[in-house]
A and B are shown apart, each in its own frame.
Chain A
Amino acid sequence: MEFIDLLALGFGAALTPENLFFCLLGALLGTFIGVLPGIGPTTTIAVLLPITFFLPPLGGIIMLAGIYYGAQYGGSTTAILVNLPGEASTVVTAIDGYKMAQKGRAGAALAIAALGSFFAGTVATFALAIAGPTLSGFALSFGPAEYVALMIFGLLAATILARGPVLKAIGMILIGLLLGTVGTDLSTGASRLTFGSIQLYDGIDFIVIAIGLFGFSEIIENLEKTGSSGVKVAKLTRLWPTREDFKRAWPAVLRGTGVGTFLGILPGGGATLASFSAYSLEKRVSKRPDEFGEGAVEGVAGPEAANNAGAQSSFIPLLTLGIPSNNMMAMMLSAFVIHGLTPGPQILQSQPQFFWGLVASMWIGNAMLLVINLPLIGLWVRLLTIPYRLLYPAILLFCCVGVYSLNNRIFDVALAAGFGLIGYLFRKAKCEPGPLLLGFVLGPLLETNLRRALLISQGDASVFIERPISLILLCATALLLLMMILPNFRKSREEAFKGEEV
């Protein structure tokens, strides 16, 4: 009964006209940037983050969350219609979705993607509602030692699951760890890698790196392509899928939802990882693996359900433990902090309307997205015709304003521009910036918690294996490492990410 009451409280908070407006705004913005290739939710949220200080806390966070899951919907539209994945998480959707569209079945593909996403979003929202409070009681037992084990697991998981060669992913994580050490050391007060500049005493802001690596470098890379080579839009046909489509898509949606919900919770997980894993899972369990790549409806349904479920369930560790599982969630964490809220077990007790309001808004937002995406597909496709010469200067301007307003200093803008150049070099070298950001976020957490754990235990390292949760996590890490080394698993990992090179 208590659960129902709390959910009612949440819907009460989310259904105010103001919060409904922010939910719709977030969902629309998310769909918008999802449709536009190159502008991801990470960039958008980074740009909008400082602005949310002027919004009411719940409204601001509802909007940012809407952008995140909205982008998962929007990205699938262009992936299916024009073979342009708007988001990294919809790359695999393009493989079979575009083939379906070429066969004149774009409507079926889009409808399956939207319905699958809605179903997955609903399930993941309830998972968050049900598991959230349970996890948060459990969360208090996470002390420094447990966090150390969790961070080690997360960093390793990031390596194994990133796209591209493992060695490059490890390299990027190490660079992220290095950048994370810049600033004043919490334990001794000594300054590290600041080169005497007081601007670096508090370290580098996450958003500076994110906007540089994602926003600026994306634009630089797109400048290479002169002129827009006329995007070819496939003809839209009958919107509704056939009975046969439903029959084949249904189990795939269920599997995708499960995979997505689970991977979203893990550190380093999230929507992108979820969709890649779901695609490889579908391919493996299918009785017709040869149809994949030729327009298999499961290849659309599974990944689309998975990326949406993953987007939603990655909120679970953030809201209950206060730890971001991926760089999007790290951005959400900053949004909470701007409003003086620290996500974690305390927020559930002290401000239940906040947690439940956000959960309820996610379900409402998913319903809104279904409405936006099905009838408005034609409109979204037209967005693709905005010339980049108008779009990119606008994005650049927003990036600069966003970075400057963090601390009101031009130094940060210059730093972000520098990271933009570095990001461009990374792209040229085919190095994913994702693991770098994860290393940057998790590294300092790993370091400070390691030192805290050893301070509390007075230098006794056995604390990591004496505490059960920490021991289990370390065993899981060892298992993961073993799997990485075994050739069988390595092969299937390469297979899972093969489609992305197209």
Chain B
Amino acid sequence: MKKTLAISVVALLAATGTAQAEWPTDRPIELIVAFAPGGGTDIMLRTLAPYLENILGAEIPVLNRPGASGEIAYTALAQSNPDGYTLSSLNTPGFLTLRIGRELGFDPAAICPIARIVEDPGALIVQASSPYQTMEELVAYAKANPGAVSMGTTGVGTDEHLAMLQLEEAAGIDITAVPFAGANEAKTALLGGHVTAIGLNVGEYSIADQNSLKAIGQFAEERSLLAPDLLTAKEQGFDVIQSSERGLATRCDVPEDIRAKLSDAVDQALASPEFLEQAKQQALPLSYLSGAEWVEQMPGRLERYTEIFSLIEAGR
């Protein structure tokens, strides 16, 4: 009995050993997307998957596991085998803000990013005919009329909401957050004049109707390539930095060399001219970071978000 056990343990070790050496074999690598089909992240990853398939020589089926701001997908990833055959999308601020004040079904520390693909800064949008054509004008009005400026967001702790809270803090003003179920609903409300401003990502704004919408500031350290003429909030004197990042992740206990291979494959795919062309169509502000570089940034961001969340708590 003992002998059989020993043999099977040896066999198991051998099997894992070969799997490591040969990764990827002809087994498909499952890519979990934390959003419903048709969303920005989903379309981006479905576009990218064929390039990764070519580079890695393995099939990469995309599986949507939407819900609970990504928690369902991250939980599925955390419960998968650490053999490098399961990937998941990873989005910030969602991945970082999930853990603030919420009991999670998975351990965020067990999930390691392998590559950042996109970083899209937020932008402050008003009607094209709005009386406030710069952030300064909007802030001046908000200062004189506390609460009168309303801003459409897509919920608590979302990009726009976090940016709005930072702006309130930086400028010492009081803005009313009005939650909508999605960016399109918020846009319609802005066009009808029911809210003063909304937040969109620069990528979304660059493909929106610029005759009716106008961006008055972007929340980036440096101006995005998609909006080179748009002043940053910092340039206008307000310390607001807010961007959404999208990338890929695996479990942390996936062997180091497999994670490195995946990360390199993404880097290589992002350099392909055909992919660049498709990315341009989707207005994706590509911004590759290796997993290690991305991880390094995360504690800083998390700290910032935790701070902002304490503002929400204080406001309640």
Interface residues of A (CB under 8 A from B): 53, 140-144, 184, 186-189, 198-199, 201-202, 322, 337-340, 342, 344-346, 349-350, 407-409, 448, 451-452, 455-456, 458
Cβ A346 vs Cβ B188 within 8 A: yes
| In the assembled complex, B178 has its CB within 8 A of some CB on chain A | yes
Cβ A188 vs Cβ B156 within 8 A: yes
Candidates B65, B71, B178; contact of A452 at CB < 8 Å: B178
Chain A residues positioned under 8 Å from B38 (CB to CB): 53, 337-340
A186 in contact with B179 given A198-B75, A338-B38, A456-B195 (CB within 8 Å)? yes
A143 in contact with B189 given A199-B72, A408-B63, A408-B65 (CB within 8 Å)? yes
The number of chain B residues touching the other chain, given as a range, is: 35 or more
Cβ A198 vs Cβ B155 within 8 A: no
| In the assembled complex, B203 has its CB within 8 A of some CB on chain A | no
Q: Chain B residue with minimal CB distance to A201?
A: B68
Interface hits, B23-50 → A, CB 8 Å: 36-39, 43
Cβ B187 vs Cβ A202 within 8 A: no
Candidates B36, B180, B191, B195; contact of A140 at CB < 8 Å: B191
A187 in contact with B179 given A53-B38, A198-B75, A345-B188 (CB within 8 Å)? yes
Cβ A143 vs Cβ B71 within 8 A: no
A199 to chain B, nearest CB (A): 7
| In the assembled complex, B181 has its CB within 8 A of some CB on chain A | yes
Q: Chain B residue with minimal CB distance to A53?
A: B37
A407 in contact with B64 given A186-B181, A201-B71, A350-B209 (CB within 8 Å)? yes
Chain B residues positioned under 8 Å from A142 (CB to CB): 192
Interface hits, B131-154 → A, CB 8 Å: 147-148, 150
Chain B residues positioned under 8 Å from A144 (CB to CB): 178, 189, 194
Cβ B184 vs Cβ A448 within 8 A: no
| In the assembled complex, B255 has its CB within 8 A of some CB on chain A | no
In the complex, A471 Cα to B66 Cα: how many Å?
40
Cβ B178 vs Cβ A456 within 8 A: yes
In the complex, A141 Cα to B189 Cα: how many Å?
9
A192 to chain B, nearest CB (A): 13
Cβ A455 vs Cβ B68 within 8 A: no
Q: List 10 A-B contacts (CB under 8 A).
A: A140-B188, A141-B192, A143-B193, A143-B194, A144-B178, A186-B180, A201-B72, A202-B68, A342-B188, A346-B184
Chain A residues positioned under 8 Å from B39 (CB to CB): 340
Output the residue of B38, B176, B194 with the most chain A CB within 10 A.
B194
Cβ A407 vs Cβ B65 within 8 A: yes
Q: Chain A residue with minimal CB distance to B65?
A: A408
Extra contacts besides A342-B184, A458-B147 (8): CB < 8 Å: A53-B37, A140-B193, A189-B156, A198-B72, A340-B43, A448-B181, A451-B179, A452-B180
Cβ B150 vs Cβ A455 within 8 A: yes
In the complex, A408 Cα to B184 Cα: how many Å?
25
Chain B residues positioned under 8 Å from A322 (CB to CB): 188
In the complex, A115 Cα to B181 Cα: how many Å?
43
A333 to chain B, nearest CB (A): 12
Cβ A456 vs Cβ B176 within 8 A: yes
Chain A residues positioned under 8 Å from B69 (CB to CB): 201
| In the assembled complex, B185 has its CB within 8 A of some CB on chain A | yes
Candidates B75, B155, B191; contact of A345 at CB < 8 Å: B191
A342 in contact with B209 given A408-B64, A408-B65, A455-B150 (CB within 8 Å)? no
Chain A residues positioned under 8 Å from B209 (CB to CB): 346, 349-350
Cβ B188 vs Cβ A344 within 8 A: yes
In the complex, A143 Cα to B63 Cα: how many Å?
37
Cβ A202 vs Cβ B71 within 8 A: no
In the complex, A322 Cα to B185 Cα: how many Å?
9
In the complex, A408 Cα to B67 Cα: how many Å?
11
| In the assembled complex, B105 has its CB within 8 A of some CB on chain A | yes
Chain B residues positioned under 8 Å from A189 (CB to CB): 155-157
Q: Chain A residue with minimal CB distance to B188?
A: A344
Q: Nearest 8 CB-CB pairs, A to B?
A: A189-B156, A201-B68, A143-B194, A342-B184, A140-B192, A340-B38, A186-B179, A198-B68
Cβ A342 vs Cβ B182 within 8 A: yes
Chain B residues positioned under 8 Å from A184 (CB to CB): 68
Chain B residues positioned under 8 Å from A201 (CB to CB): 67-69, 71-72
Q: Chain B residue with minimal CB distance to A54?
A: B37
Chain B residues positioned under 8 Å from A407 (CB to CB): 36, 64-67, 72
B87 to chain A, nearest CB (A): 16
In the complex, A83 Cα to B3 Cα: how many Å?
75
Chain B residues positioned under 8 Å from A143 (CB to CB): 189, 192-194
A455 to chain B, nearest CB (A): 5
B206-227: CB near A (< 8 Å → 1, else 0) gives: 0001000000000000000000
Cβ A456 vs Cβ B194 within 8 A: yes
Q: Chain B residue with minimal CB distance to A144?
A: B194
A187 in contact with B156 given A143-B192, A198-B67 (CB within 8 Å)? yes
A290 to chain B, nearest CB (A): 53
Chain B residues positioned under 8 Å from A344 (CB to CB): 184, 188
In the complex, A408 Cα to B34 Cα: how many Å?
12
In the complex, A181 Cα to B245 Cα: how many Å?
31
Output the residue of B43, B64, B72, B177 with the most chain A CB within 10 A.
B72
Q: Chain B residue with minimal CB distance to A186?
A: B179
Output the residue of B38, B68, B75, B105 with the most chain A CB within 10 A.
B68
In the complex, A350 Cα to B191 Cα: how many Å?
14
B57-88: CB near A (< 8 Å → 1, else 0) gives: 00000011111110110010000000000000
In the complex, A340 Cα to B92 Cα: how many Å?
22
Chain A residues positioned under 8 Å from B68 (CB to CB): 184, 198, 201-202
Cβ A455 vs Cβ B176 within 8 A: yes
Candidates A198, A342, A350; contact of B185 at CB < 8 Å: A342
Candidates A187, A188, A202; contact of B67 at CB < 8 Å: A202
Cβ B178 vs Cβ A455 within 8 A: yes
B66 to chain A, nearest CB (A): 6
Cβ B178 vs Cβ A202 within 8 A: no
Cβ A409 vs Cβ B71 within 8 A: no
In the complex, A409 Cα to B185 Cα: how many Å?
28
Chain A residues positioned under 8 Å from B176 (CB to CB): 455-456, 458
A211 to chain B, nearest CB (A): 18
Chain A residues positioned under 8 Å from B64 (CB to CB): 407-408
In the complex, A202 Cα to B64 Cα: how many Å?
15
In the complex, A202 Cα to B184 Cα: how many Å?
18
A334 to chain B, nearest CB (A): 10
Output the residue of A189, A338, A407, A409 with the most chain B CB within 10 A.
A189
In the complex, A345 Cα to B147 Cα: how many Å?
28
Chain A residues positioned under 8 Å from B178 (CB to CB): 144, 452, 455-456
A191 to chain B, nearest CB (A): 9
In the complex, A184 Cα to B155 Cα: how many Å?
10
B89-120: CB near A (< 8 Å → 1, else 0) gives: 00000000000000001000000000000000
